[in-house]
Chain A
Amino acid sequence: MAKLTPQTAKAMAQELYGYELTDEAAVAVANAAGAMITHSRRLGNLDLNGVQPPFGYPTLLAEAERIRKRG
């Protein structure tokens, strides 16, 4: 199981988002983060190399056009 310390969770929230986690929240966040990192590592072991994540180019084109029209 991956581990993140509450101090690291606090520092990430502060440095990345300018947000103060309480000591209690930092423990909960660190535990949840550990579980998510473990899950992510498991997903990384699946044979999905070369499989594209589901972000579509048609959406990219359409949204670019919408922004362009908005000026």
Chain B
Amino acid sequence: MANPSPLLDFDVAALSQKLRAKEISPVELTQAYLDRIEAVDERIISYITVTADVARELARKAETEITAGRWRGPFHGVPIGLKDLCYTKGILTTGGSKILGEFVPNYDSTVWTRLREAGAVLLGKLNLHEFAYGATSSNPHWGTCRNPYDLDRIPGGSSGGSGAAIVARTAAATIGTDTGGSIRIPAACCGCVGLKQTWSRVSRYGVMPLSDSLDHTGPITRTARDAALMLNIIAGHDPNDATSSREPVPDYTSRLGGDLKGMRVGVIRELNTGISEPVSRAFNAALKQLGSLGATVEEVSIPSFTEGSLVAMVVLMAEALEFHEQWMRERPDDYGADVRSLIETSMTITAVNYVRAQRERNLMLAEALTALQDHAVLLAPSQTTAAPRIDDSSYDIIANMVRFTGPSNATGQPAVSIPTGLSNEGLPLSMQIVGKPFDEVMVLQVADAYERARGPLPLPKL
């Protein structure tokens, strides 16, 4: 196999400078990514649909505009992928399902509209766990998505394709969605950055729902800076999504590049138990690194987070049942076994279960805000272990994979997953940085400072 193009080595921040300076052609860059997809994606299955013609057309347009001096911003001419839950007008949008296996939307999701208007180039629609309802991305209808660091392991999910594509270099940046951890889990398993911003910060219009109260749409990228650049484009009120926030949108890159002097950060006691030795070792090393950057690291307690993922799951399952109820009645055999089983389980959730879980979210956020009164951000490992094997049927996904991520869905707080290194087996490990609502600037500041101190991770050998 030919060596991958050196153009694939650049993150979005570097690419945008080179594209703007006309040192790189968007057409050449897009072709390099399409060649990479052709070369490796048969093994990874990060894509469900590759939109090569659309990509080439958008790249040509970007080249014409940039050449004429009409640079639109950091994503102009940058090749990206969208989780196949995001509507794209005239392009197959399956939700990773058989049920929507031929669905072609007649309008665009707002997230794609904003990225398209910013000049991004769409490489295709990324693989995911069926209907985003699971964390393995072992998709029975479109192929099992695999972890580029070890093809026998899961990439996490539900946005598995979005995470795998970043480290396999089959996209420069991607969009994922997160209801119980579906951006942060694949970012953790694959060794990239996944940002679940504050609930309502990014429009959900045209994104297939899993659970309206908990769904988020956000970036999966190589670096914290790239996540900030992407959030700059997709954040903000959308008249088509009544729940989208009218809070002013700051420049999310504004505090990148600094240190953490004088900052107090809190380690969440309840989310730092029952973890594997490699996760623990890497997490403790990361805490030490934060200390060397000037932060004071202290332990905080948020008792309601102990069962926070269960609260999130009750809400998620109840709302997901409402979306799937008709298909379950009419086409149950068209669901994969695990998703079908989750929907079946939802059928006994009572109204009392649901309302109490919703009300509990207030208490969880109140306790988190108390901890954040004296601390800039809160920290926890993203996952209890490194990515499990695809064939490990004994692995309890809900108990392990959603345990540390679900609480931030229930509270709606911003949370980023960032790699803390590789295990001795060569598998990515990671931590979460959780902030105050709408304080993504702070979350990204800490992530960026840590990331620069940590240095680059070795790439997977594909």
Contacts and interface: CB of A to CB of B under 8 A. Distances in A.
A4 B359 contact: no
Contact of A12 (B314, B348, B359): B348
Given A33-B345, A53-B358, A48 B363 contact: yes
Contact of A37 (B310, B353, B363): B353
Interface string B333-345: 0000000010011
B65 interface: no
Contacts of A66: 242
B357 interface: yes
B363 A32 contact: no
Interface in A12-26: 12-13, 16-19, 21, 25
A40 B359 CA distance: 11
Contacts of A13: 344, 347-348
Nearest to B240: A66
B64 interface: no
A40 B347 CA distance: 15
Contacts of B358: 53-55
Contact of B341 (A28, A40, A62): A28
Chain A contact-residue range equals 20 to 34
A63 B349 CA distance: 26
A33 B314 CA distance: 10
Interface range, B side: 20 to 34
A1 interface: no
B292 interface: no
From DSSP, what is the main secondary structure of chain A's interface residues?
helix
B303 to A, nearest CB: 11
A71 interface: no
A9 B243 CA distance: 35
B355 A53 contact: yes
Given A17-B328, A19-B328, A19-B329, A28 B360 contact: no
Contacts of B341: 25, 28
Contacts of A62: 242
B284 interface: no
Contacts of B152: none
B68 interface: no
Interface in A21-53: 21, 25, 28-30, 32-33, 36-37, 39-40, 43-44, 46, 48, 51-53
B328 A43 contact: no
Given A19-B347, A32-B348, A53-B355, 5 more contacts: A32-B345, A40-B356, A44-B352, A46-B360, A53-B358
Interface of B: 213, 242-243, 307, 310-311, 314, 325, 328-329, 332, 341, 344-345, 347-350, 352-353, 355-363
15 contacts: A13-B348, A17-B325, A18-B329, A19-B329, A19-B332, A28-B341, A29-B345, A29-B347, A30-B348, A37-B353, A43-B311, A43-B359, A53-B358, A53-B359, A55-B358
Interface of A: 4, 9, 12-13, 16-19, 21, 25, 28-30, 32-33, 36-37, 39-40, 43-44, 46, 48, 51-56, 58-59, 62-63, 66
Closest 7 CB pairs of A and B: A62-B242, A33-B348, A53-B358, A43-B356, A40-B353, A32-B345, A13-B347
